[in-house]
Amino acid sequence: MGPVLNKNKSAEAGPLPATVPEHLWWHGGLIYQIYPRSFLDSNGDGVGDLPGIISKLDYVANLGVDAIWISPFFKSPMADFGYDIADYRAVDPLFGTLEDFDRLLAKAHGLGLKVMIDQVLSHTSAEHPWFIESRSDRTNPRADWYVWADPRPDGGPPNNWLSIFGGIAWKWEPRRAQYYLHNFLSSQPDLNFHNPQVRRSVLDNLKFWLDRGVDGVRLDAINFCFHDQQLRNNPPKPLEHRTGRGFLPDNPYAYQYHVYNNTRPENLPFIEELRSLVDHYPGAVTLGEISAEDSNATMAEYTRPGRLHMGYSFELLSSERSPAHIRATVEGALAASRDAWPCWSISNHDVQRVVSRWGYPHSPEHLATQLTALVCSLRGAVCIYQGEELGLREADVPFESLRDPYGKAFWPRFKGRDGCRTPLPWTDAPRGGFSSGTPWLPVPAEQLALAVEVQERNPSSTLQAFRRFMRWRRQHPALQWGDIEFLLATDSMLAFTRHYKGERLLVAFNLSAQSAAADLPRVLAGTALGGHGLPEGKLEGARLTLPPHGVVYARLSP
């Protein structure tokens, strides 16, 4: 084909086309992640809450997403900001009430949004009544509900297992003269899933929310439920392999292969049990957060029929942004499981915001939109983290304002997760319109220029570009449900096709800040598809020429 012409400009307005019936909403679905503490505070206590979310559901629906996933809002002492749960069936008063949740659910459903909640099964808070009882002595009815072990003869911990948040994974309990296991903070003791009563109780808690009408669950650290009952030591990892997801090589956690403290074979029958429960609720979906040594193989194993619907991949949350890495990740996931619908994300509440992580010091403004387009053009569902639609960069939170214990432990080399958790700026007023009180984390002054209200007024803003792209994507079934075939990955360029029911689209990205050209393995002819709103390159024969952070979307001739 010649230079890209034939623009399709009809993408900007009008109702969203309905999902093709043979596809379930989550196949290629878009899930918007809400971190409730930082979304919108309705009562001036400085912490976001459920009423705050309710008041902005129209905004979320208008982004063109299918679903929301809300990070934990359950009763919690907030040592890990909600990922340490003290009562699985109660809303923490900081966030509101169960009635607020029911209102949220009803309003979301009225807007056509599915609601997914976060379930943290592998560990509880140390303040959970189960743990308070379990730790009291060695003979109480819940004595075996957590992972208790005797010290070594020298008093040391039972084995070499480590906590992701730094240091040994065992904490001493004087009442029992024993250690308990914690894969995360010491205030997040690990439940003993080998005990059938524990499995039954956590599934009962899950049932409570399914009965309330949630459309799905994101399963936190789901491969951490079981541990090796023999407590065998993890093998050491050689220096050259000490790269990890979510932790730096200077975290001792990087020094081991985590083969005995997580991803144990017993997890699989438990997941099947969980899936049979969820299958009683037609349409409900499970998305498992899986951080394992061999991510693709584990995702494939965990998403076989009868197990989880989707696996949440960590691979694109790393600092590695090369086209070759993206290609290898997606190809690897699909090679491991041909029919899988993986779930991709490039930002979340645990990692540096993508514009800072994958950007360059002088990246153009449309970088954020290009990265959104990229992740939403891969085969699979996508989780989009609040603020991604605004193109927010990582906030620089000063040490005095840090809240994340993980950041405090590893500062200054690793500053923790507060930089991606600062409150969403809604207006350019001093607290970003987030709260009338003092926000729990500072609202960075430099983010006020990117506030929602400011971007609403600017037709060429990242927010407007995000909406335009999402509406445009819905007009192209191949981008939602098509097979994917990679054509090239150079230093700067990534190109692939998406193929659906006789339609074949070429998709190409230049991920660098300079113009770039590359030759596809074969000559392709087709018609450019405009209307996506990104700077366009061209395809001539086999040659792709793209402007900095540019794209090509073209319908290929049969």
Catalytic residue ranges: 220, 289
Chosen residue from 43, 140, 205, 427 binding Mg ion by CB under 5 A: 43
Written as six digits, the tokens of 305 are 């029929």
Provide, rounded to whole angstroms, the least separation between the CB of residue 47 and Mg ion. 5
Q: Which 162-201 residues touch ligand BGC, going by CB under 6 A?
A: 184
Stretch that binds Mg ion, among 37-45, 113-121, 188-196, 334-342 (CB under 5 A): 37-45
Residue 482: CB atoms within 10 A of its CB come to: 22
Provide, rounded to whole angstroms, the least separation between the CB of residue 80 and ligand BGC. 5
Cβ-based nearer residue to ligand BGC, 302 or 426? 302
Query: 393, exposed or middle or buried, with CB in 10 Å at 0-12, 13-18, 19+?
Result: buried
Closest CA to 312 of 218, 417, 216: 218
Query: Which residue is it, tokens 């936190």?
Result: 220
Provide, rounded to whole angstroms, the least separation between the CB of residue 530 and ligand BGC. 38
Cβ-based nearer residue to Mg ion, 323 or 442? 442
Size, binding site for ligand BGC by CB under 6 A: 9
Contact 417, 349 (CB under 8 A): yes
Chosen residue from 41, 190, 301, 350 binding ligand BGC by CB under 6 A: 350
Closest CA to 36 of 82, 98, 79, 90: 82
Provide, rounded to whole angstroms, the least separation between the CB of residue 123 and ligand BGC. 7
Strand order in the sheet with 543-546: 516-519, 543-546, 538-540
Please list, in sequence order, all residues whose beta carbon lies within 8 angstroms of the beta carbon of residue 351, skipping any fewer than 6 positions away. 246, 317, 357, 417, 420
- When CB distances are held under 5 to 8 angstroms depending on the partner's kind, the choice from Mg ion, ligand BGC, none that residue 80 binds is ligand BGC
- When CB distances are held under 5 to 8 angstroms depending on the partner's kind, the choice from ligand BGC, Mg ion, none that residue 45 binds is Mg ion
Binding of residue 404 to ligand BGC (CB under 6 A): no
Contact 302, 290 (CB under 8 A): yes
Give the ranges where 181-336 is alpha helix by DSSP (H): 196-212, 267-278, 295-302, 323-336
Chosen residue from 45, 266, 293, 503 binding Mg ion by CB under 5 A: 45
Provide, rounded to whole angstroms, the least separation between the CB of residue 371 and ligand BGC. 21
- When CB distances are held under 5 to 8 angstroms depending on the partner's kind, the choice from Mg ion, ligand BGC, none that residue 49 binds is Mg ion
Dist. CA 481–CA 341, nearest whole Å: 9
- When CB distances are held under 5 to 8 angstroms depending on the partner's kind, the choice from ligand BGC, Mg ion, none that residue 507 binds is none
Contact 17, 475 (CB under 8 A): yes
Cβ-based nearer residue to Mg ion, 49 or 404? 49
DSSP track, 404-419:
-HHHHHHTTTS-TTGG
DSSP track, 347-384:
--TTS--HHHHH--TT--TTHHHHHHHHHTTSSSEEEE
- Side chain identity at residue 214, one-letter code: V
Cβ-based nearer residue to ligand BGC, 360 or 411? 411
Provide, rounded to whole angstroms, the least separation between the CB of residue 38 and ligand BGC. 13
- When CB distances are held under 5 to 8 angstroms depending on the partner's kind, the choice from ligand BGC, Mg ion, none that residue 448 binds is none
DSSP three-state, residue 11: coil
Chosen residue from 1, 41, 424, 461 binding Mg ion by CB under 5 A: 41
Closest CA to 529 of 1, 17, 8: 8
Provide, rounded to whole angstroms, the least separation between the CB of residue 83 and ligand BGC. 3
Closest CA to 439 of 463, 460, 462, 422: 422
Binding of residue 49 to Mg ion (CB under 5 A): yes
Binding of residue 315 to ligand BGC (CB under 6 A): no
- When CB distances are held under 5 to 8 angstroms depending on the partner's kind, the choice from ligand BGC, Mg ion, none that residue 350 binds is ligand BGC
Q: At what angle do helices 196-212 and 267-278 cross, to 10 degrees?
A: 30
Binding mask 109-138 for Mg ion (x = CB under 5 A): ------------------------------
Exposure string for 183-202, b = 16+ CB within 10 A, e = fewer: bbbbbbbbbbbbbeebbebb
Written as six digits, the tokens of 264 are 């144990």
Residue 99: CB atoms within 10 A of its CB come to: 10
| Alpha carbon distances (Å) from 137 to 22, 122, 158, 185, 197 | 55, 22, 19, 22, 19
Cis omega (within 30 of 0) for bond into 412? yes
Cβ-based nearer residue to ligand BGC, 350 or 394? 350
- When CB distances are held under 5 to 8 angstroms depending on the partner's kind, the choice from ligand BGC, Mg ion, none that residue 312 binds is none
Chosen residue from 289, 301, 388, 394 binding ligand BGC by CB under 6 A: 289
Binding mask 205-224 for ligand BGC (x = CB under 6 A): ---------------xx---
Stretch that binds Mg ion, among 6-14, 47-55, 213-221, 275-283 (CB under 5 A): 47-55
Residue nearest to ligand BGC (CB): 83
DSSP letter assigned to residue 431: T
Provide, rounded to whole angstroms, the least separation between the CB of residue 31 and ligand BGC. 14
Binding of residue 80 to ligand BGC (CB under 6 A): yes
DSSP three-state, residue 6: coil
- Side chain identity at residue 463, one-letter code: L
Cβ-based nearer residue to Mg ion, 93 or 306? 93
Size, binding site for Mg ion by CB under 5 A: 5
Provide, rounded to whole angstroms, the least separation between the CB of residue 220 and ligand BGC. 5
Dist. CA 110–CA 410, nearest whole Å: 44
Provide, rounded to whole angstroms, the least separation between the CB of residue 191 and ligand BGC. 12
Chosen residue from 120, 346, 374, 395 binding ligand BGC by CB under 6 A: 120
Binding of residue 418 to Mg ion (CB under 5 A): no
For β-strands 87-91 and 74-75, DSSP reports them as antiparallel
Binding site for Mg ion (CB under 5 A): 41, 43, 45, 47, 49
Binding site for ligand BGC (CB under 6 A): 80, 83, 120, 184, 220-221, 289, 349-350
